[in-house]
Structure 1
Amino acid sequence: MKAIRYHSYGSPDVIKLQDVDKPEIGDDDVLIRVRAASVNAGDWHLLRGLPYIFRAQAGLTRPKAHLLGADLAGEVVAAGRSVTALRPGDEVYGFCRGAFAEYVAVPAEGFVVRKPAGLTFEEAAAVPVAAVTALQALRDKARVRAGQKVLVNGAGGGVGPFAVQIAKALGAEVTGVCGPGNVEIVRSIGADHVVDYTKEDFTRSGERYDVILDNVANRSLADCRRVLAPQGIYLHNSGDKGGRWVGVMPRIVQVMLLSPFVRQSLVAGHVADENTDDLVALRDLLEAGKIRPVIDRTHPLSEVPEAITYIEWGHARGKVVITVTPPLP
């Protein structure tokens, strides 16, 4: 089968489309024919080995793992003897390390569930990591309630469009901050207010927000706190590329050090907890039409290097998806 592999840190030029053995499954696993996968910011960080601080876990001089791709949609083609919830022929979506491949083996529990009805494989593959990140940040960390004012900084990227829609589904009044190329997209998915950051600085608007989900960290923490309600919640989700050595760690440390001394709640470095309960919750929202994936472009498996380059440059308007069409076993 064909699969994407990389054996050294570097630019997308080090990525290879290789012939590898089809994975074997254990009693608790399913074999999935991957129909689509999506690209996340984590893919280029893994590929580059940046920031360097993360190489302590990923491998100091070369990657310990050679896999890219974290979420997928596809069809179950085989199930282990202990698997009861899924059967061959089931269409599924979820999480997987090494999703840029024609076939993957994953544990049936905790990783994949049945795909939302009415979604294409490409649409379903765009959901897992980005949407679970947004869901957990807003529903669990911020406990967004009806009538609250929520600002999503970086509303046009991978996580942002899901965050806008989930906040709306929770009953909030939502302001999305994005670049000029994403204004119409963010408005079309339900944002009540859209701020083009090239024309307006949301931290100077005089508005106050109950929750700020900061996906880009392009404004200082002090500026963000100025427009946060006295007992509001600031969620630092990510940030720009940061330094090569420690990335966005200075922002995370700043949030953690300041948090005990202010009335506002400051939450640093939200990382999604991958689980199937949230995939089911998202499936319900998708099937009810309350959220929908925003897909910028699709690439075939052979163009994963181009897709990761596009994500790294920060140009994506929504998700970038890899279409995989492997032969049947």
Structure 2
Amino acid sequence: MNKPGYRGILLTGTDGSQSPLNVNDNEPAGGVQFDSEQLERGRSRTKIRNNGSSQLSASSSRSRSRASSRIRDEEFLKWTVLRRDPSMRLQLNQKDDKKSRDEQSDDEDSEELDLEDDVSDEEQVTDVDNDFDIDEEFHYDLGMKVLPNFVQSLNDVLDSSKQWIREFRANTQEPEIPLATLAGGYKRAMLPLSKGKGSTTDRSYILCSDLTSESQYALTYVMGALVSNGDTLYVVHWDNQSSSDADAKLQKNILTIRENVEHMFDSIGAVIEDFDVVVLSLQHPFPKQLLTEMIHGLQPVALCCSLSMILSTLQNYVCSVPTLVIRKKLKRAKKKGISE
């Protein structure tokens, strides 16, 4: 007879021992039992399956991040084409080079941090307190530069101006300066000056002057480096100070500018033969509006002015033509140490 707890005689061996599938009275009946080798093999299969799924998820996330990054790059390239700004594509190439060097770092947060760490060319430019240190380092003096229309250095031209003007006053008579009355009762004095055959081209420039030393430097720089043979230069000066002798004051302003222009004619004589200069000194309540009308009518190549004009009369002025702001380099003393 079969013992209680056994399913049948076939589950008992010939020697009376129980089969592994048999259960005792103390063990619960039912269920499939596995040996240790099968259990180890099952665990390894589960571990391999888990490792494969984790690698698959990592590769899929990496591919998704690469795809999204590629889409962003394509949208950025399309934006540069629509804006017609090819220089912006340089940043795109830098991104591609960076990704090729480091293919493993696909996290978007790390890419944004890398972009923030990039330093632009503008940020690399630092302000220097003393320009003399730079000049000494590079063995360079701006005043020793010979401008294209001069045959001597810029310092020599400026230093010779006072002596040349004194001799010019002694040997030349003052011309008659015509005066005109504008709408509103404002006065205008104008004097045309010519060298050689005068103007032979349509190119013209406008120079705003306030009769300061910096404006004289601006006139010297424009005549020495900017104008060419056959051009026309308009020198404009505003004098809005109301006085009883406004006519005499405007004529005096014209004579002062004329002396500087004649000195420039002598300095550029070896390079420029034909040239025209129109000197204007006038009163006007709205200098910026008048300058805008002059630019609209004359269509100059550029508007030139000194830094003092930009900081005073032409402050916050928006110009429709290129503007050249000329700053006279100040003479700075060399920094001295405590021992000196």
Give yes or no for TM over 0.5: no
Task: Indicate the structure with greater strand content.
Answer: 1
The higher radius of gyration belongs to 2
Relative contact order higher in (CA < 8 Å, ≥ 6 apart): 1
Name the structure with the higher helix share: 2
TM-score, normalized by length of structure 2? Answer: 0.28
